[in-house]
Structures are given as structure tokens and as C-alpha cells.
């Protein structure tokens, strides 16, 4: 299935082939280096994609490397590391729970953000799922991921001179990304079918290796399918409700069937967000078809399933009109030994003609349910009280496990070197230990600040690279590179605001009082600059108007060239920005941010959060590691927004700017550095995927496993 030398490589370095097809390399700096030094300029222009690089690099260059002793020592060390890292044996899971070594956990998600070459995500949900799978590999959790292979994925964002977003979809070339077709033993593509209305749709799969973890990506673009279904999974969030329903049928029902066809029989099934909860129903169908009584099948599925909801408001849930459900499920419910009413009830609270709600389906069919921060857990218990009317709100059975980030991915490699020095070579293995992080205090101020300044210049260089590339390649108007950050200043206090442009995140809150903001940005000796980035959903006009508003200010000389809007926010840009800014701004409307993870990434790199006390920051803020934006005022949203903006300006003028520019004789902002250390010390041990995956394991997965071996 996985051939080992796909490229024409000299034998001495042929291990590069297997390494390039396992994204393990992407979260290990030495392994990145092994590819990068083959040809730095190709590495950059090919978007850090080793598969593409190995395909095109001239053979003589490889031969030269294969005879270069220093390259070979890096190569040998990396390949040895890689082999140990993917071999079974000494992982946290195997050491702690040896009795569960032969179990399997299936993790379903409509988005996975794993690398810039694979556009399988739109935002935080996908980043979380990608980070989680990488962590599962690091900890040795026996997990497989199930998602969709979107050949066009999510769009690339271009901003026109007048600030309007346009969307460009690239077609993924499967020969140039690290996925392989899943085949049956006789070499034919593995295929399963999913019933639709009166026909069936065929589903095939690609596999992507993330260390030990395999991610199966389902695909409907097959000759065996009618034209109208081939493009079903072409794009993420690209179609209408009917297309979405079909995508969810493919991942939910097709996903279970693909795992079965591969001979995989997970004990635990985890649905990440409501999109994937048809998976729970399909498993009931299997059991009922095997002769089990419906009630028993439902409780079996409940005992072995985890459902994580990420939605903080009822309107945000994924729902389908009953007519659509009728259209696609009228042949299916009899296989569950249900009638139409019973079937519809699984996805509704009880109202008449209510839409079929995928979150409700998850809450009803999974016995382990959670929100993604403590505050969000409370919000969920309140929102879904109607499903458990007989218990007190506090006892509604929805728990919370707070999201985290994969620190190996998100902490700048330069900081990782510092951490090794002060916290030990295997600091990564103890990243969830608060005691270890006390050692932050041992890092000399000069070292931390020097590193931070260097990362900031790296960010600015990367912004300039993007601006220059647009200028040269597309002959854009000269004002555009300026709006894209060509005037950014390495010495100015730099604020980052980067995330999806959607109403509740209030990207323009900080622009509310333009005159006051102008004064703040243009302070003569204490300038401030703001870096914005983020995409609006293609059909979200309001989101696009927000981007336009910001872009127009970025072009306005009155703002001193101190506002920049960087196009095409993605994993790569996100990493540069969270590692390089001084302050991370987040201003969601209260109780609307389920968790948020970008602020965790920033904190892990020493950026100070300036954020509404919502989502994870409600838990993370301790009074000394950043700032809490007060949601002031009451009544209408406009007044609240004005007052909240005012509290941001006050904080900037009274605390943040003075602290940043308060330098000692050596030019160091000692008070600021102290806060950087404090944010890393207090937040890094908590808001990482290691703590998070261990919580899912200990609070949910192990209980589910043990329930089956009573
Ligand atoms: C981390 C990340 C997100 C999530 O950001 P939030 O501010 O938590 O919503 C979205 N997109 C990308 C590319 C990210 O890296």
C-alpha cells in the first residue's frame, strides 16, 4: 500500500521518501531541516512541501547531498528519531494504560488542519483536530482520524485595491501532497457505498500519516459515481444545505463503512462537532441489522461514544429541514427498525416540525458529552437544559474539556531550544507539568527578549515577502503592498488580530473611535501597530465589509502605515504572527467564543493577551499574565461596543504602552519581560493538547473501553 521509494533517490538517502509521506516531519525541526537544506529556495517557493520538492529537485543535487558527511549525519539522526517515534513501545499511553494497548479510538471531524499544502480546514475547528491527531501520535493514543478529502478545499484569499475579498480555489494535485490512495489487497481502490435517496454513492479514501496516527480522508470523485455526486466533497462549506447534508452522510455513514472495510473496529468513537454525528446512527443500524434490539443498540452506542460540541448559540448548530431528511433517509430508518417519527425525534428536542439538529443527535446518542472550555460547558448546560428537563441546570450531563494547542507545532523552534536549555531536553514530555514551567523564571531576560525581537523581525520579513510577491507577480497598485504591511516597524509595539471574520468576533471593535485610535498608533516615540489577517466566508457579505473597512484604514496615511491587513490567513501565516507579535487582541461578544485557541498559541510564544474574558481566557487570565477587556455598559449592542472599545483604549494608554516602552539602561523592558514569562509559566502547562488528550483519555475513552469489558 505504501511504497517506500516513490522518487528517484540515491539509495543512501532513500528514507526521505517515507519521511516525506509522514507529516511527522512537520512538527520536528530537525526533520524540516533535512528537506530544507536540499534546496532552500525551492523549499520556500514550494510552500515547505517535501513531496513536491523531491519530485522536482535535480538528481545531481541529491547525489551531492548523499555524499556530504554533515548532511548524512543530520539525515541519519532524523531517520533514527523518526523510526523510534513511530514504533510502538515507550509512549505515555502504553506505559500508563498497557491493558488498553489493543483498543482503537476513531476521531471524526469535517475539518483537519495539518499542513498548508492540504486545504482541509477553514478555521479553529480544523486546527484543533489537526493538533489533536499530532498529539495522539506523540502520546501513543491508538487513534485513527476520519475526514473528507476536499480536492479544492477552502479558498485562497485575495484583496483588491478597494478592499474587497475575492476567493480563488486551487485544485490539489494528489501527486504533490502526502496522501496515498487506500487500496484493497489486490491493488484496486478501496470503495464503499452510501445509500442516498434511491441511488448509492461510492466513497473511496486517501490516507495521510501523522506520525503513528492515520487520517482517512474520504473522496467521492470517482468514475463509478454520477457526475452530480463527483464534486460533492470538492469544497469545504461550499454548497447549500443539501450538499452539506450529503457531505455529512458521506463522512458519517461512509466513514464507518470505510473503517469496517479496512478491518478496523474501534471501541471508542469520537465525533468532533455535530457535522459528523450520523456516524453514531450508522453504528446503531449495524447492530440492529445484526439482530440486536434497538434499545440495546442505542445504549451500546452511548456507552462507547464521545461528542464534543463547539457551538455557543442555538443558531450556530447544524440543522436540516425535515423534508431533506425525508428525502435521504426514507429507506434508512426501516433498517434501524424505526418509523419516521422515531427517527426525527433523534435530532429534535420535541417541537413540531422542528429542524433536524446534528448537535441534538450527538447529545442524545453519545454518552460522553462536552463543551470546550469551562465557561462553554456552562453555556451548553443552559442551552440544552430542554433535553434533560428533569435535572437542575448544573447537573445537565455535558461536561467541559478545555481546548489546547500542539506546542511542538506552535512554539517557535528558537524558543524550544531555550526551553531545552532551561527545562531539560525532554521538556516536551512534561509540557503539562506546571512545576517544570516554573523554570521559565531562570531564563535570562536578555535571552528571552533577544529571541522575541528576532521572531518579530522574522514576522515582518515574512509580511514583506508576501507583499513583494504580490507586487511583482500581480502588478498590483503601489498602495496595496503598503496596506499589506510594507511599512511595519520592528521597534513598534505590535498587536495581532487574526481569525475568521465573522460577526461575533468583532474585528472592527478596536476601530470604533477612529480619532482616538489614530492618536494611539501615531504616538511619536511610542508607536503602536496592528496586524490583521483572516478570511470571511465567501457568502458572508458583512464579514467582507469588515475586511474592507480595515483595508481602507490600512491605506489611509492618517493611520501612519501602522495598520496592516495580510492576505490569505493560513497555518503558515498564523505561525509567523503568533510567534512575532507583542500583544494578542481578541474581542468576541461575551459567551460567543466557545474556547478560541489562537490566544493560547500567542501566549505560548510570550505574546500578552488583551482579551474579553471569554472562552479559554476566562480560565487563563490570572491578573498578571495579560489583560482582561471589560465588557462595559449594558443595553444595546452599540453602547456595549463603544464602552468595550473605550476599555481597550484605556488599557493601551494607561498600562500597555507605558509598560512596553519602559526600558532600563540596557534597553530592556523588564516589566514586560516579566509578564511574558508569567504568561508562558501560567498558561503553557494548561492550554496544550497533551493535557487535553490526557483528559479525554482519562475522563472519557477509558471509561468507554472499560464499559465494554465488564
Ligand atoms: C489557531 C487558528 C485559528 C483559530 O483562531 P481563533 O482565534 O481561536 O478562532 C484559525 N485559523 C488558523 C489558521 C489558526 O491557526
108 C-beta closer than 6 A to ligand 1: no
Give the pLDDT confidence score for residue 4 in this predicted structure. 53
Determine the Cα–Cα distance for residues 246 and 325; give it in Å rounded to an integer. 10
Q: What are the φ/ψ torsions at residue 203 (nearest 5 degrees)?
A: -130, 130
Assign 1 a pLDDT band (cuts: 50, 70, 90).
very low
Inter-residue contact 332 to 346 (CB < 8 Å): no
**What number is the average pLDDT over the span 108-134?**
96
Which has the minimum average pLDDT: 56-65, 291-300, 362-371, 495-504? Answer: 495-504
- Nearest alpha carbon, ligand 1 atom 11: 123
Q: Which residues contact 73 (CB under 8 A, 6 or more apart)?
A: none
To which residue does cell 515574512 refer? Answer: 462
CATH of span 103-403+693-709: 3.40.50.2000
> What is the grid cell recorded at 584?
494578542
Give the closest residue (by CA) to ligand 1 atom 4.
124
For the Cβ of 124 lying below 6 angstroms from any atom of ligand 1, the answer is yes
Mutate to test the pocket of ligand 1, among 123, 498, 535 (most ligand atoms within 8 A of CB): 123
Lowest mean per-residue pLDDT among 28-32, 541-545, 633-637:
633-637
> Residue 227's CB: how many other CB atoms inside 10 A?
6
Average pLDDT over residues 93-112: 96
Q: What is the C-alpha to C-alpha distance for residues 511 and 548, in angstroms, rounded to an integer?
A: 13
Is 571 touching ligand 1 by the criterion CB < 6 Å? yes
Which atom of ligand 1 approaches the CA of 601 most closely?
A: 1
> Is residue 611 within 6 Å of ligand 1 at its C-beta?
no
The Å distance, Cα 575 to ligand 1 centre, comes to 10
144: closest CA among 219, 92, 218? 218
Give percent of the chain with pLDDT exceeding 70.
99
Nearest to 537 by CA among 309, 283, 238: 238
Q: Where in the chain is the domain with CATH 3.40.50.2000?
A: 103-403+693-709, 414-686
Our mutation pick for probing the ligand 1 site, out of 372, 567, 597, counting the most ligand atoms within 8 A of Cβ, is: 597
Ligand 1 probe mutation, 127, 130, 495, 594, most atoms within 8 A of CB: 127
Confidence of residue 633 (pLDDT cuts 50, 70, 90): low
Instruction: Return left, alpha or beta for 567; rule: phi > 0 is left, psi -120 to 50 is alpha, else beta.
Output: beta
CA of 124 to the centre of ligand 1 (A): 4
Residue 479 dihedral angles phi and psi, to the nearest 5°: -70, -25
123 within ligand 1 shell (Cβ under 6 A): yes
Mean pLDDT along residues 350-372? 93
- Ligand 1, atom 3, residue with closest C-alpha: 124
In the predicted model, is pLDDT for residue 406 greater than 80? Answer: yes
Per-residue pLDDT tens over the stretch 16-36: 999 999 999 999 999 999 999
Picking from 49, 55, 23, 6, the residue whose alpha carbon sits closest to that of residue 170 is 49
Which string of b and e fits 461-496 if b means at least 16 CB within 10 Å? ebbbebbeebbeeeebeeebbbbbbbbbeeebbbbb
* pLDDT given for residue 228 in this prediction: 86
What is the residue-averaged pLDDT of the chain?
Answer: 95
Q: How far apart are CA 125 and CA 498, in angstroms?
A: 15
pLDDT digits over 56-94, tens only?
Answer: 999 999 999 999 999 999 999 999 999 999 998 889 999
Banded pLDDT at 5 (limits 50, 70, 90):
low
CA dihedral of 8, 9, 11, 14, whole degrees rounded to 10: -110
Tell me which residue has its CA closest to atom 8 in ligand 1. Answer: 596
**Burial label, 94 (beta-carbon count in 10 A; 0-12, 13-18, 19+):** middle
Which pLDDT tens digit goes with each residue over 253-282?
A: 999 999 999 999 999 999 999 999 999 999
Q: What is the mean pLDDT of residues 519-529?
A: 95
d(CA 691, CA 686): 6
Is 101 or 395 the better-scoring residue by pLDDT?
A: 395
pLDDT of residue 522: 95
**CATH class of the domain defined by 414-686:** alpha beta
- For the stretch 293-308, pLDDT in tens is 999 999 999 999 999 9
Per-residue confidence band for 238, with pLDDT thresholds at 50, 70 and 90: confident
Q: Cα(193) to centroid of ligand 1, in Å?
A: 34
pLDDT for 153 equals 87
**pLDDT tens-place string over residues 423-443:** 999 999 999 999 999 999 999
As a whole number of angstroms, the distance between CA 43 and CA 186 comes to: 36
> Distance (Å, rounded) from C-alpha 24 to C-alpha 213?
10
Tell me the longest C-alpha to C-alpha distance in the chain. 80
Task: Identify which of 488, 655, 648 has the alpha carbon closest to the alpha carbon of residue 559.
Answer: 488
pLDDT for res 631: 80
* Nearest atom within ligand 1 for CA of residue 600: 8
Amino acid at each position: 500500500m505504501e511504497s517506500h521509494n516513490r522518487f528517484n533517490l540515491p539509495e543512501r538517502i532513500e528514507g526521505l521518501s517515507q519521511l516525506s509521506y509522514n507529516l511527522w516531519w512537520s512538527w520536528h525541526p530537525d526533520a524540516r531541516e533535512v528537506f530544507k537544506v536540499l534546496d532552500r529556495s525551492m523549499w520556500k517557493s514550494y510552500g515547505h512541501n517535501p513531496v513536491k520538492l523531491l519530485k522536482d529537485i535535480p538528481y545531481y543535487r541529491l547525489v551531492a547531498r548523499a555524499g556530504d558527511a554533515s548532511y548524512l549525519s543530520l539525515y541519519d539522526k532524523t531517520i533514527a528519531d523518526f523510526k523510534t517515534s513511530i514504533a510502538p513501545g515507550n509512549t505515555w499511553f502504553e506505559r500508563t494504560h498497557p491493558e488498553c494497548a489493543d483498543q482503537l479510538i476513531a476521531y471524526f471531524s469535517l475539518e483537519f488542519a495539518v499542513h498548508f499544502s492540504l486545504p482541509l480546514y477553514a478555521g479553529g475547528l480544523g486546527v484543533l483536530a489537526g493538533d489533536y491527531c499530532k498529539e495522539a501520535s506523540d502520546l501513543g493514543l491508538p487513534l485513527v482520524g476520519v475526514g473528507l478529502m476536499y480536492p479544492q478545499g477552502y479558498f485562497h484569499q485575495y484583496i483588491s485595491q478597494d478592499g474587497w475579498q475575492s476567493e480563488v480555489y486551487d485544485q490539489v494535485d494528489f501527486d504533490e501532497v502526502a496522501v496515498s490512495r487506500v487500496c484493497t489487497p489486490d491493488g484496486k481502490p478501496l470503495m464503499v457505498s452510501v445509500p442516498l435517496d434511491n441511488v448509492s454513492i461510492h466513497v473511496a479514501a486517501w490516507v495521510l500519516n501523522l506520525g503513528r496516527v492515520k487520517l482517512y480522508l474520504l473522496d467521492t470523485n470517482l468514475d463509478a459515481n454520477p457526475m452530480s455526486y463527483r464534486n460533492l466533497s470538492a469544497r469545504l462549506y461550499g454548497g447549500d444545505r443539501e450538499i452539506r447534508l450529503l457531505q455529512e452522510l458521506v463522512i458519517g455513514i461512509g466513514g464507518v463503512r470505510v473503517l469496517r472495510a479496512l478491518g478496523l473496529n474501534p471501541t471508542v468513537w469520537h465525533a468532533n462537532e455535530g457535522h459528523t454525528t450520523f456516524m453514531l446512527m450508522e453504528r446503531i443500524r449495524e447492530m440492529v441489522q445484526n439482530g440486536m434490539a434497538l434499545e440495546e443498540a442505542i445504549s451500546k452506542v452511548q456507552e462507547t461514544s464521545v461528542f464534543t460540541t463547539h457551538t455557543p448559540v442555538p443558531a450556530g448548530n447544524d440543522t436540516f429541514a425535515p423534508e431533506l431528511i425525508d428525502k435521504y433517509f426514507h429507506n434508512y430508518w426501516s433498517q434501524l427498525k424505526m418509523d419516521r417519527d422515531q427517527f426525527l425525534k433523534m435530532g429534535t428536542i420535541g417541537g413540531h416540525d422542528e429542524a433536524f439538529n446534528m448537535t441534538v443527535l450527538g447529545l442524545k446518542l453519545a454518552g460522553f458529552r462536552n463543551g470546550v472550555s469551562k465557561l462553554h460547558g456552562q453555556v451548553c448546560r443552559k442551552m440544552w437544559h430542554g433535553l434533560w428537563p428533569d435535572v437542575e441546570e448544573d447537573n445537565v450531563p455535558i461536561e467541559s474539556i478545555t481546548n489546547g494547542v500542539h506546542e511542538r507545532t506552535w512554539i517557535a523552534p528558537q524558543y524550544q531550544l531555550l526551553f531545552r536549555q532551561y527545562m531539560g531536553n525532554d521538556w516536551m514530555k512534561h509540557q503539562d507539568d506546571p512545576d517544570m514551567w516554573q523554570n521559565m523564571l531562570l531564563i535570562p531576560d536578555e535571552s528571552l527578549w533577544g529571541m522575541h525581537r528576532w521572531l518579530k523581525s522574522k514576522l515582518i520579513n515574512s509580511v514583506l515577502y508576501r507583499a513583494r510577491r504580490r507586487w511583482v507577480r500581480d502588478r498590483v497598485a503601489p498602495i496595496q503592498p503598503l496596506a499589506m504591511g510594507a511599512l511595519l516597524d520592528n521597534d513598534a509595539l505590535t498587536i495581532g488580530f487574526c481569525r475568521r471574520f465573522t460577526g461575533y468576533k468583532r474585528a472592527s471593535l478596536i476601530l470604533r473611535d477612529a480619532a482616538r485610535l489614530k492618536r494611539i498608533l501615531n504616538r511619536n516615540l511610542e508607536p503602536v501597530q496592528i496586524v490583521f489577517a483572516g478570511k470571511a466566508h465567501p457568502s458572508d457579505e458583512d464579514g467582507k465589509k469588515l475586511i474592507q473597512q480595515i483595508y481602507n484604514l490600512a491605506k489611509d496615511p492618517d493611520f501612519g502605515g501602522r495598520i496592516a491587513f495580510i492576505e490569505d490567513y493560513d497555518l503558515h501565516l498564523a505561525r509567523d504572527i503568533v510567534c512575532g507579535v507583542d500583544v494578542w487582541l481578541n474581542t468576541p461578544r461575551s459567551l460567543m467564543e466557545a474556547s478560541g485557541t489562537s490566544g493560547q498559541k500567542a501566549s505560548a510564544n510570550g505574546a500578552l493577551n488583551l482579551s474579553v474574558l471569554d472562552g479559554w481566557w476566562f480560565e487563563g487570565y490570572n491578573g498578571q499574565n495579560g489583560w482582561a477587556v471589560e465588557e462595559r455598559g449594558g443595553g444595546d449592542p452599540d453602547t456595549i461596543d463603544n464602552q468595550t472599545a473605550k476599555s481597550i483604549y484605556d488599557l493601551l494608554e494607561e498600562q500597555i504602552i507605558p509598560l512596553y516602552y519602559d526600558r532600563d539602561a540596557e534597553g530592556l523592558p523588564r516589566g514586560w519581560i516579566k509578564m511574558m514569562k508569567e504568561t508562558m509559566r501560567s498558561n503553557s502547562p494548561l492550554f496544550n493538547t497533551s493535557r487535553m488528550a490526557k483528559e479525554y483519555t482519562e475522563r472519557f475513552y477509558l471509561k468507554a473501553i472499560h464499559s465494554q469489558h465488564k
